[in-house]
Amino acid sequence: MNHKTIAIFLAVMMLMSILPIFFSGSSKYSNEDESSVPLSAPGFDTIAGSHVSHELNSIADGLSIAPQGVSSAHYLDVSRINGTPLESLLANLIPPYEMYNAKVSKTFYADYTNEQSWFQLHTISPEIIAFDYWVSPTPYNGYQFLVRITNDYRIGNVVGTPMMYGPQKNVESVIDVLSGNVKKSSDFDHILSYVEMGAEFQRVDSITDGFADQFYVDLKKLADGRYSRTVVYLNPSNSTLENITKLQANSTERGIIYDVTTDGDITKVEITSDVMSVISESWV
């Protein structure tokens, strides 16, 4: 399963994830309504034991319960991109409605270097159990694991806000962090200290093919209808810095506003323009 691909964001944005198992590549967020929710679907309270309760409003929130060793991660506020150009652009990152028979409003995904090491977080509405599962015989730290797929390893959910989803051993590792028994990931703390949270889409990655040691990228719709894209590089290469300088030099005539700042090993580039200019502007 290849989680790192080149040429996304209309052949510009890099290294977007092809998500495992349920992510089919087409969003059903906007064309499903409450009438399709099973009338008899039970609520979360029908699942015994502890339930997840954790804020999920940014990539930082997701990483705050991720175990150490994250190689890449992304956050997407599906509800905020509904009906915008970003919905089609980021469709592959939106879980299909059939995953829960409920709308997914926010999603977080973390990947590790091991192929089986990943987990996801999903905020759903309504909070119902409308999918097939069987309960793992032994709770983990009080949490019930709902098994949904059994291949070489079990994949399923732990119920709550947000829902945890992934291979059982990985979800249990997240529970360890959530419970305070294990330290959270600090893999991207430095680069994220230069980021203002609040964008609809956010991504961090350490697999960069040499253009930097790490990068952060986000996309955000502004109040005036324009869009912004922020890229933060950790130790960018000389060729990356040269490319940024060249693009900034003629940006005004192309209708793109550039704001470039450097602080030690960090270079931050924020551009503002119409949506197509923002997503098609080169950044490596």
Q: Look at residue 36 in the predicted model and tell me its pLDDT.
A: 55
Identity at 15, one-letter amino acid code: L
**CA–CA separation, 150 vs 156, rounded Å?**
9
Buried b (16+ CB within 10 A) or exposed e, 97-112: bebbbbbbbbbbbbbb
- pLDDT tens, position by position, 173-193: 999 999 999 999 999 999 999
Q: Is 145 buried (19+), middle (13-18) or exposed (0-12) by CB count in 10 A?
A: buried
Q: Is the peptide bond before 96 cis (omega within 30 degrees of 0)?
A: no
- pLDDT tens, position by position, 94-149: 999 999 999 999 999 999 987 669 999 999 999 999 999 999 999 999 999 999 98
Q: Among 27, 11, 165, which residue's Cα sits nearest to residue 88?
A: 27
Q: Look at residue 150 in the predicted model and tell me its pLDDT.
A: 82
pTM of the model: 0.87
- Residue 257, phi then psi, degrees to nearest 5: -95, 125
**CA–CA separation, 80 vs 142, rounded Å?**
34
Q: Which domains does the chain have, with CATH numbers?
A: 9-178 (no CATH), 208-280 (3.10.28)
Q: Among 256, 253, 263, 248, which residue's Cα sits nearest to residue 280?
A: 256
Half-sphere exposure of 65 (CA within 13 A, CB side): 25
| Three-state secondary structure readout of 210-272 | CCCCEEEEEEEECCCCCEEEEEEEECCCHHHHHHHHHHHHCCHHHCCEEEEEEECCEEEEEEE
pLDDT along the chain (284 residues), means of 10: 33 35 36 55 95 98 97 97 93 94 97 87 96 94 94 91 97 97 96 97 91 96 96 96 95 96 98 95 83
Residues contacting residue 229 through CB under 8 Å, at least 6 positions apart: 217, 218, 219, 220, 270, 271, 278, 279, 281, 283
Three-class DSSP category at 9: helix
Q: Look at residue 8 in the predicted model and tell me its pLDDT.
A: 36
Q: Among 255, 197, 202, which residue's Cα sits nearest to residue 86?
A: 202
Q: Look at residue 114 in the predicted model and tell me its pLDDT.
A: 76
Q: Tell me how crowded residue 230 is: count the other CB atoms within 10 A of its CB.
A: 20
Q: Look at residue 153 in the predicted model and tell me its pLDDT.
A: 82
Three-class DSSP category at 188: coil
